[in-house]
Amino acid sequence: MNVVNDVTIAGAGAAASFLAMRALQLDLQPTILRVSLPAVVGIEIVPASAWRLLDALGLGDVLAGLGAGLGDGLTRRLPDGTIDVRDGRSLHVERLRLREALLREAERRGARICEIDRLPPLDPEVYAVDATGQRAAWSRPVVRQGREWADIFFADETVIPPGTSTLALLGREWAYLASDQTSATVGVVGRSASVSGLLDRKILRALELVDGAPFRHVGRRAAFVQWATKPIVGRRLAIGDAAVHHSPIGGRGLAFALGSAFAAAAVLATWRDDPPAASAARSYYESYVAAEAHRHVTFLRNEQPSLATSQELPEQVRWVRSSMEGAYVVKGRVTPGEVVTLANGEPARWLGHLDLIRLREIVMAERSTASIIAHLSEQGFCIADSQSTLSWALERGLIVPAERTRAEP
Ligand SMILES: Cc1cc2nc3c(=O)[nH]c(=O)nc-3n(C[C@H](O)[C@H](O)[C@H](O)COP(=O)(O)OP(=O)(O)OC[C@H]3O[C@@H](n4cnc5c(N)ncnc54)[C@H](O)[C@@H]3O)c2cc1C
C-alpha cells in the first residue's frame, strides 16, 4: 500500500470541510475539489450531541461569527393538536453561511481548495473521500428508502425569536420551523410538491405563524433515507450524506457529517501509520456506516428499543450488555480491541473521555447509582457529567434499573 499523505476530497459541503480540518490535525494533506452547484438556503439545527466534535476542531470562534441562535428544546405539535416539548439544546445557523465559513477556515488552516468545472472520475490510486452529499458521485450504488421531499421556505427577517424549533405532524405530511438571529426556515415534508410556492394556511397555523408571514419558496431537498452500499472501497471512503443521507426528522445530518469525518480521518491516518491495522480500520468504517443506517431506519420505523424516558436515575442499576472484538478510535487511529454493543446493535468503546469497559467494571462492582457516581467523580468526572453518563447508558440499554433486570438474550 502507498503511504497515505495526500487526500482528495470531492465536494465542498460541511462534511468535506470537517474532514479537511480533522485530516490536518492528523498531519494529512487534504485537497478539496469544489464544483459550483446550486444549494438551498435554510436554517440548520446542530444538536448538542455534535458540539464535542465541533469543539475538538476548535470551531468556537468560527461559529460565534455566524449570527447563530441558541435553541432550548423542540416543541412538537402532534396530529391530535396536543403539544409536547423535547428537551435538548441546539445551535441554529444558516447553512450556506456555515458552509462558506467552514471552507474558508479549512483553507486558512492549510487545506487546498481546487475550483473545477466537473468532478474527474475516481482514480483508484489516490486516497479519496466522497463528500458530494446525497449525489454520492463516487459512491454508487446507493439504496434509497422512502419517497419524501421537503419544500423549503425562507424568511430573511426576524419573524420568530432566535433559536425556535417547532415540529408539526400533520398526518401524511409534517413541517418544521427553525430560526437563527436574523432569519427563519420552514420545511414541509411529504410526497407531493408545493404547487403554489406558498406556505398554506394549515401549515402556518400548525407552526403558529401569522397569515402573510414573509416566507418564500427557495427550493426542495430530498427527505428520503439513502445509504451507500459500499462506504469504503479500495482507497475511497464516503462521508456525510454521501455515506448516509438522513430524513430531516432525525436531525442527524450535520452530526453524522462530523462523526463520519472523524471516523474517516482516523481510517486514513491508520492506513498511513499502522498498515497491519488496515483491514481492522476498513471493517471499523464499514460497521460504523452500517450501524448509522440501521439506527436511522429503526428510528424512523419507531422500533427503537424502549428508551428510558425519566430523567430520574434509579437507585440501583445493573450492566446487561455483552462485549465483542471490534475496533475503536484512540487518538485519531483505529485500534482493534473489545467494544460493547449498545441496544441498537452499534458498537462503542468510548463516551467522550470515559472508557465504557471501565464503566462496566464500576457498575458491576457497585450497582448503587450513588456509589457509581462517587467512583466516576474520583476519576475526575463532575457529578452532572456522571449523571448524564448514567442516563446515556440507560437510554442505550447498557444498564437497566436493578429491580427490572432481565438477562440479555
Ligand atoms: C434546507 C436544508 C436544511 C437542513 N437542515 C438540517 C438540520 O436542521 N440539521 C441537520 O443536522 N441537517 C440538516 N440538513 C442536512 C445537512 O445539511 C446535511 O446532512 C449535511 O450538510 C451533510 O453534509 P455533506 O457535506 O455530506 O453534504 P452537502 O452539504 O450536501 O455537501 C455536498 C457538497 O458536494 C457538492 N457536490 C455534489 N455533487 C457534486 C459533484 N457531482 N461534483 C462535485 N461536487 C458535488 C455540493 O455542491 C456540496 O458542496 C439540512 C439540509 C438542507 C438542504
Please say if the pLDDT value at position 302 is more than 70.
no
DSSP H or E segment with residue 257: helix 253-273
| Residues at CB less than 6 angstroms from ligand 1 | 10-16, 35, 37, 40, 42, 44-45, 95, 119, 131-133, 135, 137, 152, 221, 240-242, 248, 251-255, 257
| From 11-25, 86-100, 258-272, 339-353, the region with the lowest mean pLDDT | 339-353
pLDDT score, position 222: 94
Distances (CA, A) of 401 to 6, 295, 320, 325, 367: 49, 24, 10, 27, 9
What interhelical angle do 278-300 and 253-273 show, nearest 10? 170
- The string of pLDDT tens digits covering residues 366-379 is 779 999 998 888 88
Mean pLDDT of the region 12-39: 98
- The string of pLDDT tens digits covering residues 268-297 is 999 999 999 999 999 999 989 998 998 899
Q: Which of 349, 380, 375 is nearest to 362 (CA)?
A: 375
How many whole angstroms from its chain centre is CA 54?
Answer: 11
Q: What is the pTM of this model?
A: 0.88
Mean pLDDT of the region 353-376: 89
Amino acid at position 86, single letter: R
- The string of pLDDT tens digits covering residues 308-337 is 344 578 999 999 998 999 999 989 999 999
- The string of pLDDT tens digits covering residues 41-85 is 999 999 998 999 999 999 999 999 999 999 999 999 988 889 999
List all residues 6 or more positions away from 207 whose beta carbon is below 8 Å from its beta carbon: 77, 166, 168, 175, 177, 186
pLDDT score, position 343: 87
Q: Whose CA is nearest to atom 16 of ligand 1?
A: 253
Q: Whose CA is nearest to atom 27 of ligand 1?
A: 133
Give the torsion through C-alpha atoms of 365, 368, 369, 373, to 10 deg: -50
Domain ranges of the chain: 6-61+94-142+225-300, 317-404
**Of all residues in the chain, what percent are helix, strand and coil, respectively (each to 5)?**
35, 30, 35
Cα distance between residue 329 and residue 348, in whole Å: 10
Average predicted confidence (pLDDT) for the chain: 91
| From 37-41, 48-52, 184-188, the region with the lowest mean pLDDT | 48-52
Mean pLDDT of the region 155-167: 93
Q: Which of 271, 265, 334, 282 is nearest to 30 (CA)?
A: 265
- The string of pLDDT tens digits covering residues 213-246 is 999 999 999 999 999 999 999 999 999 999 999 9
| Maximum C-alpha span of the chain | 63
Site to substitute for ligand 1 among 33, 44, 100, 113, most atoms within 8 A of C-beta: 44
Please check whether the domain covering 6-61+94-142+225-300 is classified as CATH 1.10.10.10: no
User: SS3 of 158, please?
Assistant: coil
DSSP H or E segment with residue 286: helix 278-300
392 pLDDT band (50/70/90 cuts)?
confident
